[in-house]
Amino acid sequence: MKNFSFHNPNRIHFGQGQIAQIGTEIAAGSRVLLVYGGGSIKRNGVYDQVIAALAGRTVVEFAGVGANPEFDTLMRAVALGKEKQVDWVLGVGGGSVLDGSKFIAAALALDPAIDPWLIVGNKTPLHSALPIGCVLTLPATGSESNFTGVITRRETQDKLSFKNPAVFPRFCVMDPTVISSLPPRQLGNGLVDAFVHTTEQYLTFPQEARVQDRLAEGILSTLTEVAPVLLKDQADYDAQANFMWSANQAMFGLVPLGQTLDWATHAIGHELTVLYGLDHAQTLAVTLPSLWRYTFDAKRAKLAQYGRRVWNLNGDDEAVAHAAIDATRAYFESVGVKTRLTDYGIDAEAAAAGVEAQLIRHKRIALGEHADLTPADCRAIVLGAA
């Protein structure tokens, strides 16, 4: 295990009725920019609870942050926040809304002479951001408790991340009952997102990080256990709670400590989203099994460990590792997320060429835990996902 330093200042309010805790976190008299998506929070009761909790504060609303939050949309929120002189940003939604809220909070505190797009890709230092609060409505990315965001700029075909401790949310509210109203597509996407976020940090090579391994395996096992329960009864509270907590802990920051990570699946997936508009989880479900096949020799030991501990498979390392990949693909399919490019009507040759070109343009030329996956390797991985 490598040396590490860890700090997560995020306060979590978990459980039914916890949206009321917003009132204990944001002082009376504050001017709050309320950021949300397409309006589902007004149909499932979350909006009314948030507004009630914000009594005594000035609320400025910005709606319309979509999946893969767009830079141009977020800049309109920044302009509104400046006009109304807000001093808090409260994101209410899934990972896209929360990532967007982090960008907005950072841009509002940025020197006006600096181009806010430089926040993305960590091209300019961030020394501060407006305080951020989160109300999670779609478990998936863990954005409610970490300092990472991913922003898209359609006009330049960029989907890039940024990381900075300044955008750690001060608090998050996690009420598992919101899962009851999720459309099946979003439920399946959330299950896949949380699963792949965990494997990107865990399924590399043995590194004697035993506690972190067991934590990752516990998250993965929980996701496989609760998925069929939720598919049968989306209002099962115990399954809701364990799913929401698993998605949070997948990206809370404990799983990767002391280890070399992968993230190549995400690098490829981001380019597929930009090129074809696929959901984030769809790109992960397409890419991961093919990547594991392509890097099988390097990942064999960890794949075998994963197969035995998560899927209860038996046999020699070779057989268990192959069976673990098959089990993972079957899991993604079981929650309604397809795992082949052809399932989405995408030509693999064109997608492979496009991903290779995008990775070269973004200078992502040494990916994976061993930094040995070139854009040409990623092209082959995409071809393997036909």
Domain shared by 140 and 258, yes or no? no
Does 5 reside within a domain? no
Domain stop point among 135, 158, 177: 177
For residue 248, give the CATH number of its domain: 1.20.1090.10
Average pLDDT over residues 161-182: 96
pLDDT at 214 over 90: yes
Does 1 reside within a domain? no
Domain shared by 352 and 204, yes or no? yes
Does 4 reside within a domain? no
Average pLDDT over residues 169-180: 97
Domain shared by 43 and 171, yes or no? yes
**pLDDT 10s digits, 43-73:** 999 999 999 999 999 999 999 999 899 999 9
Does 358 reside within a domain? yes
**pLDDT 10s digits, 312-364:** 999 999 999 999 999 999 999 999 999 999 999 999 999 999 999 999 999 99
**pLDDT 10s digits, 249-285:** 999 999 999 999 999 999 999 999 999 999 999 999 9
- Give the pLDDT band of residue 39 (cuts 50, 70, 90): confident
pLDDT at 299 over 90: yes
Domain stop point among 177, 204, 222: 177
Domain shared by 147 and 229, yes or no? no
Instruction: Write out the chain in H/E/C secondary structure.
Output: CCCCCCCCCCEEEECCCHHHHHHHHCCCCCEEEEECCCCHHHHCCHHHHHHHHCCCCEEEEECCCCCCCEHHHHHHHHHHHHHHCCCEEEEEECHHHHHHHHHHHHHHHCCCCCCHHHHCCCCCCCCCCCCEEEEECCCCCCHHHCCEEEEEEHHHCEEEEEECHHHCCCEEEECHHHHHHCCHHHHHHHHHHHHHHHHHHHCCCCCCCHHHHHHHHHHHHHHHHHHHHHHHCCCCHHHHHHHHHHHHHHCCCCCCCCCCCCCHHHHHHHHHHHHHCCCHHHHHHHHHHHHHHHCHHHHHHHHHHHHHHHHCCCCCHHHHHHHHHHHHHHHHHHCCCCCCHHHHCCCHHHHHHHHHHHHHHCCCCCECCCCCECHHHHHHHHHHCC
**pLDDT 10s digits, 103-154:** 999 999 999 999 999 999 999 999 999 999 999 999 999 999 999 999 999 8
Domain count, the chain: 2
Domain shared by 104 and 193, yes or no? no
Does 119 reside within a domain? yes
Whole-number pLDDT of residue 38: 87
Percent of the chain with pLDDT over 70: 100
Domain stop point among 158, 177, 196: 177
- Residue 132: domain span: 11-177
pTM of the model: 0.96
Domain shared by 163 and 211, yes or no? no
- Give the pLDDT band of residue 305 (cuts 50, 70, 90): very high
- State the chain's mean pLDDT as an integer: 97
For residue 139, give the CATH number of its domain: 3.40.50.1970
Domain shared by 246 and 363, yes or no? yes
Domain shared by 63 and 39, yes or no? yes
Domain shared by 81 and 132, yes or no? yes
